[in-house]
Amino acid sequence: MSYQRLLNLDKFSGSLFLFGPRMTGKTFLLRRLHPALFIDLLVPETELSFSRSPVIFWEQLQALHKNDLVIVDEVQRVPALLDYVQKGIEEIGLRFILSGSSARKLRRGSANLLGGRALDLRLYPLTNIEVGKEFELGMALSYGTLPRVVTTFREGKVDDVRRQLKAYCTIYIKEEVQAEALTRNVSAFQRFLSVAAQMNAETIEFASVARDSSVPMSTVKEYFSILEDTLLGDFLWPWDRSERKKARPKFYFFDCGVVRALQNRLVDPPTPQEKGFLFETFFYNELKRMRDYHEKPYELSFWREGKNEVDILVKGPRGPVMAFECKTSTDTISDATRIAFRKRFPKLPLFVVSLKDVHPRKLDNGIVVLPWRQALDTFLK
């Protein structure tokens, strides 16, 4: 089943990198472009051939013509090809799309990242808009929105959905971490990954994670950087720079289904407490995807002052523009948090993003409650 992706690669006239987690549909999207040359480095024989003799790639490029499109899928497997990509751009005038699930190996190996000659784009799991009218928030919170998972769920094969998500986690450990030699101690990384998954959408205390996973705190920070570089999740930092010095960010995994698989919670429906973290994860990831796909100049953070906290603060080029607090029940922001936030940001729009409401509400204290879809629309305006 195909989906109309919001990332339109046809509108870009130059070369670009396209990075995204595994199973987000990069290869499917790229094959629809009908390039003059398609190199799939996931094919073992192809990878081996170019690893042994990268110059073969250059010989193939010289047979092409100016403005021809060349696609190299999983380019991080043979970084040496990037030197010939640069030659192809400068000497022949070719256009390249270079895809991969991580730029970490390229950076660590001092690979040629083309010095600004290529844009850096991301492809994510499906947004609610890409799924379309059949989008189910309950499904997205329980199993995520990887394209294959959504398709399998729509076919009524829930057991297969669970198998796919469990296999995803196994493949991630095997292919992203072990095969790419990102860490020597895979068993320690697996222990860390289990602990990190349990802390999804919560404030990260590095010392606590180190203790629970039995690895040094410096190693924990390195492992989190692996999760970021392989696009399995990212940090959300406090807006206030003095708070950032305390090094207590939140970490969000990129997909609710994957994090539930890592937590070994796929069989049972989410508990009310779990649903709160999952809804916050879903909404944060939707904001990030919409921001990137629509090229909005926004930075996302969260606001924290003492015991008061607001989930997401949206900052534009001239400063904060709006803030969101995610709620799965009819509760709203506490008076203490509202007063503290208003003292810091007197005129900034503050919205409660509701999982349950179907119509917006304005409370007596001035807080506006928005259904989650309308909150996303407000973000894009």
Domains and CATH numbers, the chain: 9-122 (3.40.50.300), 128-232+256-270 (no CATH), 296-380 (3.40.1350)
Report the pLDDT averaged over residues 41-69.
96
| Distance, CA of 59 to CA of 51 (rounded, Å) | 15
245: how many CB neighbours lie within 10 A of its CB? 9
pTM of this structure: 0.93
pLDDT of residue 350: 95
Q: Higher-confidence residue: 176 or 166?
A: 166
Residue percentage of the chain with pLDDT more than 70? 93
pLDDT of residue 113: 63
Tell me the two tokens of residue 193. 């990954």
Of 161-175, 207-221, 288-302, give the lowest mean pLDDT range: 161-175
Instruction: End-to-end CA distance of the chain: give it in Å, rounded.
Output: 31
| Distance, CA of 302 to CA of 236 (rounded, Å) | 7
Beta-strand runs (E) in 27-107? 37-40, 69-73, 95-100
Per-residue pLDDT for 166 more than 60?
yes
Helix (H) / strand (E) containing 153 = helix 147-154
| Distance, CA of 376 to CA of 146 (rounded, Å) | 20
| Distance, CA of 87 to CA of 58 (rounded, Å) | 8
Report the pLDDT averaged over residues 239-264.
86
Chain position carrying tokens 């807006």: 239
Mean of the per-residue pLDDT values of the chain: 92
- Of 155, 90, 144, the residue nearest 116 (C-alpha): 90
pLDDT of residue 110: 45
